[in-house]
Amino acid sequence: MIKDLTKIGVVLILALFIQSTLFQFIMIKNVFPDFLLLLFVFISIYYGSVKAQMSGFAIGFCVDFLSVSPMGYHAFLLTLIGFIAGKLKGKFSLDGIVFPVLLSIAATLAKRMISLLLIYLFSLNYSGASLFSWNSLVEILYNMAIAPLVYYLFNSLKPFWGIQTQYE
Amino acid sequence: MNRKRIGRNFADLYLLIVLLVTSGGFISFTQGVRFKPEEIGFNILSFFQKGITGSVDWLGETLNSINELRELRIEYENAVEQIESYNGIERYVIELKRENAELKNQLEFSQSISFENLPVQIIARDPENIFSGIVINKGLKHGIEINSPVTAYQDNMLGLVGKIISVSEKTSIVKPINDKSSYVAVRFLDSRYEGLLSGLGNQNDHLLIQYVKKIAAPSLNKNDLVITSGMKSIFPSGIYVGRIDSVTAREYDSSLEIFVQPVINFSRLEYLIVLIRDEDDL
């Protein structure tokens, strides 16, 4: 358990640093692809809901440290997404393109819906958590575009995860 | 046996509830209070961000240096040819003079600001599209404090970018004025009316000014400049904020709703200037 959580943590922290430092150069209309979210969803489906929740909670706090969001915001968001994605473990097999793309749409919409829920629940006065906007659409399209690449990356790390993948 | 299995089935649900309640508690608790663990976490994680940006910069500079070396070599060969043919060294001197003049010009931007200021570089953006924080490469060590105003030069104009909301030893987080939770006291440059500007989110190109009385409407025109008023504000007066885009007067409202196009294009920002506040200025 600890070994798996450490592995997930290391990969997600790296993804977080890459996203926050390098993705600013590929922004379109102030939007960059959510590499961290996609990777986290694939990991969650792979490892199941318990590990996904725990790693989502931890990495969520790391995102909160680097963001102007209130503390706990991303911890809540990623815990819930991890739980939902983790429940899909073993339910279906992923191919290389279609499922990653569909998952990227679902994950982006889920993220935005949970954000709206959080903003409503805690009366937060924060930016941009809209479901139907151009930026939301740009983010979905961007995530769809990189989803197969992220899935390929995730799959190519199979020896690192150390488990035979059930997707094959 | 059966109870054990049910317990195992619900274990992840219990865990979910515990984690959501904990993170929810953090959100509630930190709404009004700056929480210390956030600063500790920011200190540690931004160190790595700085490292990555530094490495990328180093790589870029190295590649640039190689290119420059190649170009220099070509220039050198050309210069030798020129010297041999018509003693063209004077041209090189003229080119150096021009470059020098350009650099002086750029330096004057920074010197022309009447406040003590600190040029900084953006090393990271908010990891999440929904938020708009900017991480910069200077912190407490360089004299930056929480609420220090942040500006930038774009199109020969010093425009307001935002304020510092979190500082570590060597890095800081800037909350831009287009964030929904940002408020700035502003004044119209020509008509001198005052209002309160707020952000509409980083996904919106405009800012909103409220609490401007309806009698101001005739004297407000499209493209009028908006500056900081400095009234009881952390921002010094006279910094450009934006230009009026549209003015709306609703029948049921006693004040105007004015949409402003910011002078700063937030997606083009690379370098910022932090104004170091003097207690006497406030």
Residue B10: what pLDDT?
76
Decide if pLDDT at A78 tops 90: yes
Per-residue confidence at B34, pLDDT binned at 50, 70, 90? very low
CA distance B47 to B61: 21
Which positions in chain A touch B198 (Cβ < 8 Å)?
Answer: none
CB contact under 8 A, B27 and A20: no
Report whether pLDDT(B94) > 70.
Answer: yes
More confident residue, B189 or B2: B189
H/E segment holding residue A65 = helix A49-65
Tens of pLDDT along B192-243? Answer: 888 999 888 766 678 999 888 888 888 888 888 999 988 767 888 888 999 9
All residues of chain A having their beta carbon less than 8 Å from the beta carbon of residue B56 are 21-22
Q: What is the mean pLDDT of residues A9-36?
A: 88
**pLDDT given at position A128:** 60
Interface contact flag, A72 B135, Cβ < 8 Å: no
Residue in B162, B43, B233, B267 with CA at minimum distance from that of residue A32: B267
Query: Quick one: average pLDDT of A141-161?
Result: 86
Residue A41 pLDDT > 90, yes or no? Answer: yes
What mean pLDDT is predicted for residues A86-112?
85
User: Which of B220 and B281 is assigned the larger pLDDT?
Assistant: B220
pLDDT, position A135: 80
Q: State how far the Cα of B128 lies from the Cα of B112, in Å rounded to an integer.
A: 36
Nearest-by-Cβ selection for A27 from B49, B173, B267: B267
Whether residue A64 and residue B12 make contact (CB cut-off 8 A), yes or no, is: no
CA separation for the pair B198, B184 (Å, rounded) = 6
A22 burial type by CB count under 10 A (0-12 exposed, 13-18 middle, 19+ buried): middle
Q: Which residue has the higher pLDDT, A165 or B111?
A: B111
User: Cβ of B178 and A127 within 8 Å?
Assistant: yes
pLDDT tens profile B2-32: 656 666 667 778 888 888 888 888 887 776 5
Using a CB-CB cut-off of 8 Å, the residues of chain A touching B24 are: 72, 76, 121-122
pLDDT of residue A77: 92
Q: Which residue has the higher pLDDT, A106 or B36?
A: A106
- pLDDT value for B161: 92
Q: Quick check: A71 pLDDT over 60?
A: yes
pLDDT at B113 over 90: no
Instruction: Share the mean pLDDT of chain B.
Output: 81
Which of the pair, B278 or A164, is modelled with greater confidence? B278
pLDDT for A144 beyond 50: yes
> By C-alpha distance, which of A154, A109, A156, A117 is closest to A136?
A109
Predicted confidence at residue B36, as pLDDT, reads: 59
| Chain B closest-CA separation from residue A160 CA (Å) | 22
User: Residue B117: what pLDDT?
Assistant: 82
Q: Is A168's pLDDT higher than 50? A: no
Contact A127 B49 (CB under 8 A): no
